Structure formats: structure tokens, C-alpha cells
Amino acid sequence: MENVFDYEDIQLIPAKCIVKSRSECDTSIQFGKHRFRLPVVPANMQTIIDEKIATFLAERDYFYVMHRFEPETRKDFIKSMREKNLIASISVGVKDEEYSFIEELADEKIVPDYITIDIAHGHSDAVIEMIQHIKKHLPDSFVIAGNVGTPEAVRELENAGADATKVGIGPGKVCITKVKTGFGTGGWQLAALRWCAKAATKPIIADGGIRTHGDIAKSIRFGASMVMIGSLFAGHEESPGTTVEHDGKLYKEYFGSASEYQKGEKKNVEGKKMYVEHKGALQDTLTEMEQDLQSSISYAGGKTLNAIRTVDYVVVKNSIFNGD
Ligand SMILES: NC(=O)C1=CN([C@@H]2O[C@H](COP(=O)(O)OP(=O)(O)OC[C@H]3O[C@@H](n4cnc5c(N)ncnc54)[C@H](OP(=O)(O)O)[C@@H]3O)[C@@H](O)[C@H]2O)C=CC1
Ligand SMILES: Nc1nc2c(ncn2[C@@H]2O[C@H](COP(=O)(O)O)[C@@H](O)[C@H]2O)c(=O)[nH]1
């Protein structure tokens, strides 16, 4: 594979500014049937999102994906979002009971707007069959399938009916897939994104490895429509998970969905737990992300996210050990 690089190896090159103020730059994105304020979605992990945060985000036109780790609550969750006239966006796995869950939703005419198939190794028959099952029973739901790390996987999931694919195997902050298995896109996630984007005919979500707001613009440049982020959203006042105090400082837990803390057992563990500094209010981070992205658009010489997609860039080999 030619030209392998990651976020910290790339600098985008500025183009002539066409706005008088960064506030003229529009960070919104059409994704499926809806338009969202930012091309950013908090990770569907139990220490990142819960029903309260999902409602907060949906009410303010941010995209969200609810996690799948309290499966019995999902039906009521969709109903309650519907009652509030908010988008319903859930996650599913691929085990047998998930097939009946999809059928139940269809029978009761409870139709989520977005369904994310959330599996570590998404290039599999299990995911292809689940895409086909959802499309058969809930054809109006927008299906996001993942996670994958190759163009071949993107093509196969798209051909199976996925409306978007999610790229990123192992670049996450609490991920240990790279060290436990030797596989993944950890350390070259941005190059993997570019590789996958060349094959994609539908939107791609870049998932994992985002360490700065500038990495969002870089993901857009290399083909992402949406960027999924865990660690930068961890540790807020609203974040689920316990808060601890250490040396007078407050921290919040952030653990992997394949960690023993999530699974409740040490079987096929590919995630770990860490503590992140308490960050304050979620809205402040979202606002800062929007302002930084407006600035990125202005450096790209445009007024919308599309301007970023065609900017020039340089590779400045500077890799730090991402993830793990
Ligand atoms: N983005 C990433 O890099 C990664 C993300 N995760 C996250 O961890 C959570 C748990 O993921 P996952 O274990 O897939 O979900 P599940 O525990 O729901 O398992 C999914 C199914 O796929 C089977 N399977 C076969 N091969 C694999 C494989 N290599 N990895 C995982 N499952 C496999 C599993 O069987 P069996 O368990 O018997 O093998 C199981 O039946 C998800 O939220 C996922 O997003 C986990 C690792 C990497
Ligand atoms: N290999 C693992 N990856 C995981 C696990 N739990 C979540 N994830 C992935 O990480 C991203 C978030 O990455 P970040 O760099 O923004 O923190 C998340 O969306 C998942 O794809 C895990 O246990 N193991």
C-alpha cells in the first residue's frame, strides 16, 4: 500500500479566504434524510451517550447514535424520541435475538430513522445478513454498517444494502485490538479512510483516532461525511460513568465497548478503561468544535464543508503512537 499516514502526519494547505467572518461558514451536513449542525457524532458507547444526551443532541439538530448495551430499553427509547418528534437512532448487534428485535419493531411499526450495526469486524456474512434483514423488514431505516477497514469491505456492505459504512478498526483511544490481534487501522486510520473512500459510493463515517478538532477537517478532506468520536466526548458533566477525584482533580471513566468493564467478563477483551479529566459542559465542546470547523472551512477558501474536500495537503511524517 502506498502512502501510509495518520492524522498527525498531515497538514492541510490554506486557500484564499472568501468570507469576512468565520461565522459565515456553514458546518452542517446532509446525512440520510436529515441535516445536522456538525459532521460529528459521539461514539455509541456506554460512557459517551445515554438517553438524556441523545435527547439533548437531537433537540439541537446534532446527529447521535444510541449504544446497544441495554437492549431491553431500545423499543421504549425509539417510542419516546418519536413522541418528542426527535430522530430515533439506535444500534444493533448480529446475534439471533437481534433478528427478532428487528421483526418486532417492524410488526409494531416502530421505525428508527437510523440503525447502526455495531460490530468489531464488520466485514462478515453476519453483518451482510443483518443489513439484508433490516432492509427487508424496515426499508425506511437508514442503515450504517461497520466497522471495516478495506475498500472490499465497503463495497460488499454497500452492495448488501448499507446506506453508509463506518471505517476504523483499532484506532480508538481505549482500543487494544492492535496489540491483542496484530490487525487494524490503528496508526494509519487516515490513510485507511482515504483508501476506503475511493471505493465508496455512499457516505463513510470515520470512526476512532480523532485527538484534536483539526482531525475532523482532515477526515472530511480524506472522504468522511461524518466523524465518530469517543475520547473527546468523554468526561463531560453530562457524560455517563463515574466521576473520581485524584489529587484534587476530577476525572471521569471512559471504557471500551469490548473491555471487561462493558462485557462483565474477561472474554475476547479488546478494550480498556481510562480516566479522562473532567471537561465541563458538553455544549461548550460542541460550540468549540463548530467554531474550529468554521475556521477550517475559511482556511479551505470556502463557505461550506465541501471546500475542505478538495484542499491540497502535505505529508509531514510525524507519527505518534495513536490509540493503545
Ligand atoms: N472499532 C473497533 O476497532 C472495535 C470496536 N469494538 C466494539 O466492541 C463492541 C463489541 O464488539 P463485538 O465483539 O463485535 O460484538 P459482539 O460481542 O456482539 O459479537 C459480535 C458477534 O460476532 C462474532 N465474531 C466473530 N469474529 C469476531 C471478531 N473478530 N470480533 C468480534 N466478534 C466476532 C462474535 O462471536 P464470538 O464473541 O463468539 O467471537 C459475536 O457472535 C462493539 O461495540 C464494537 O464496536 C470492539 C473491537 C474493535
Ligand atoms: N478496539 C476497540 N475499539 C473500541 C472499543 N470500544 C469502542 N471502540 C471504538 O473506538 C471508537 C472511539 O475512538 P476514540 O479514539 O474517539 O476514543 C468507537 O467509536 C469505537 O469504534 C473497544 O473496546 N475496543
Domains of the chain: 7-315 (3.20.20.70)
Q: DSSP letters of 273-322?
A: EEEEE--B-HHHHHHHHHHHHHHHHHHTTSSBGGGGGG--EEE-------
Please check if 227 is assigned to a binding site: yes
3-state class (DSSP) for residue 129: helix
Report cis status (omega within 30 of 0) of the bond before 147: yes
Cα gap 146→157, rounded to integer Å: 8
Atom of ligand 1 nearest to the CA of 171: 3
The reported pLDDT for the residue numbered 187 is 94
Q: What φ, ψ does residue 42 adopt, rounded to 5°?
A: -60, 145
Q: What is the pLDDT of residue 2?
A: 64
Determine whether 175 is an active site residue: yes
CA terminus-to-terminus distance, the chain? 23
**Catalytic choice (17, 25, 175, 196):** 175
The percentage of residues in the chain with a pLDDT greater than 90, rounded to a whole number, is: 96
- Which H or E element spans position 255? strand 249-255
Question: What's the gap in Å between 168 CA and the centre of ligand 2?
Answer: 9
Mean pLDDT for 121-137 is 98
Tens-place pLDDT, residues 183-221: 999 999 999 999 999 999 999 999 999 999 999 999 999
Give pLDDT tens digits for 237-277.
Answer: 999 988 999 999 999 999 999 999 999 999 999 999 999 99
Q: Which of 119, 173, 178, 322 to mutate to test the pocket of ligand 1 (most atoms within 8 A of CB)?
A: 119
Angle between helices 189-199 and 214-221 (to 10 degrees): 30
Task: Reply yes or no on whether the pLDDT at 233 is more than 80.
Answer: yes
ipTM over cut 0.90: yes
Question: Would you say 28 is a known binding-site residue?
Answer: no
